[in-house]
Amino acid sequence: MLAPLLTADQIQSRVAELAKEIRSVYRDEPILLIVVLKGSYVFAADLARAIGEPVEIDFVQLSSYGNGKQASGIVQIRKDADISCEGRHVLVVEDIVDSGATLKHLRELLSTRRPKTLQVVSLLSKPKARQVDVPIEFLGFEVPNEFVVGYGLDFAEKYRSLPYVAILRED
């Protein structure tokens, strides 16, 4: 069963606010968005258009969940970025920070690549699920410790194209 948590309208207004916040920090300097596939693709598409030029977009894919609901705790790089981070304002775009393991790993990796600045925007955060401390400079919403889907987030590859976020409950 899907229990709606955030409506499409709530998400869109928050994305607009986040984009404003982000632009006020970076001003008119170019930002390199490093989008964490797959879940963040919907958020990144809306956010990039709301932020506006100048932005560059690249993608990384890491994996920790496989096809189930449980994190394996092992973070693997499946696809690395093509654009160099060196000397750029790098902004990591995440859909959700759960245990924090994926983001911690990614922050550590990217910080070795000499970016001018390195910050993170995440649409969602599950503070109750956190196992490692990791900063999120721009955050959309805190969500309860439940399995959430929609707006890019999946369960076994389903529900990514829902325009809203819902809690997935077994019944």
Residue-by-residue DSSP string for 68-103:
SSS--S--EEEE--SS--TTSEEEEEEEEESSSHHH
Q: Which stretch binds ligand PRP (CB under 6 A): 8-16, 44-52, 88-96, 140-148?
A: 88-96
**Distance, CA of 56 to chain centre:** 16
Least distance in Å: CB of 53 to ligand PRP?
Answer: 26
Candidate list 98, 133, 154, 171, residue with the active-site label: 98
Q: In this structure, are residues 94 and 119 in contact, taking their beta carbons and an 8 Å threshold?
A: no
**38 binding ligand PRP? (CB under 6 A):** yes
- Spatial CB neighbours of 58, under 8 Å, sequence gap ≥ 6: 32, 33, 34, 35, 81, 82, 83
Half-sphere exposure of 77 (CA within 13 A, CB side): 11
Select the span of 36-44, 50-58, 79-87, 140-148 touching ligand PRP (CB under 6 A). 36-44
CB of 27 to ligand PRP, least distance (A): 28
Looking at residues 44 to 83 of the shown chain, list those that interact with ligand PRP (rule: CB under 6 A): 63-65, 71
Mark whether 98 is an active-site residue: yes
Applying CB under 6 A, does 33 fall inside the site for ligand PRP? no
Q: How many residues bind ligand PRP (CB under 6 A)?
A: 19
Q: What CA–CA distance (Å, rounded) separates 112 from 86? A: 9
Which of 43, 51, 100, 140 binds ligand PRP (CB under 6 A)? It is 100
Q: What is the C-alpha end-to-end distance of the chain, expressed in Å?
A: 7
Just list the catalytic residues: 98
Residues that bind ligand PRP (CB under 6 A): 36-39, 63-65, 71, 94-103, 154
